[in-house]
Amino acid sequence: MNGRPPAEQTLELSAFVPFRLNRLATGVSQYLAAIYQARFGLDIPQWRVMATVGEVACTAQYIAASTRMHKTRVSRAIVELEARDLIERASNERDRRERQVRLTKAGRRLYTELVPLALERERALLACLAPQQLHGFLEGLDVLERFLGLDAQP
């Protein structure tokens, strides 16, 4: 034993992976915002609902599980999109609690215009990675998602 105080561990935030992931996610969101926000007047919840419903008509419940958004956030996004006539809801006579959400004609038009832009924007972002780097990054992403149970399908 000696008189020195115990060496104190320090945490450099800019090297702390959880912080870096938060910062990256925010940065990427801003990188994309110009497309769905400025150009189409959608916020993130609305855009996620559009993207989900564009694949297949489904219930609000399914959207919430699939996007991992809180059901109230989904509910409000749906109300707003319906007011803009981008989506519509059909009652299910078999279970009158739920309603099928699907794109309207105008919603389909917006979706068809928006999706290629979003995919192109994603491509432009990932183009900063060499093919080998991209592969490694996505592999890590896969494993982390599985570890945290984020990949579980609804």
Partner DNA sequence: CCCTGAAGGTTGCGCGCGCAACTATTTGTG
Partner DNA sequence: CACAAATAGTTGCGCGCGCAACCTTCAGGG
Minimum CB–partner distance for residue 112 and DNA (Å): 24
Q: Does 96 sit near DNA (CB under 7 A)?
A: yes
Smallest separation (angstroms) from DNA to the CB of 68? 9
Cβ atoms of residues 118 and 35 within 8 Å? yes
Q: Should residue 25 be labelled a site residue for DNA when binding is judged by CB under 7 A?
A: no
Judged by beta carbon distances under 5 to 8 A according to partner kind, the member of DNA, a copy of itself, none in contact with residue 120 is none
Nearest approach, Cβ of 91 to DNA (angstroms)? 9
Q: Does 59 bind DNA (CB under 7 A)?
A: yes
Residues in touch with DNA (CB under 7 A): 43-45, 59-62, 69-79, 94-99
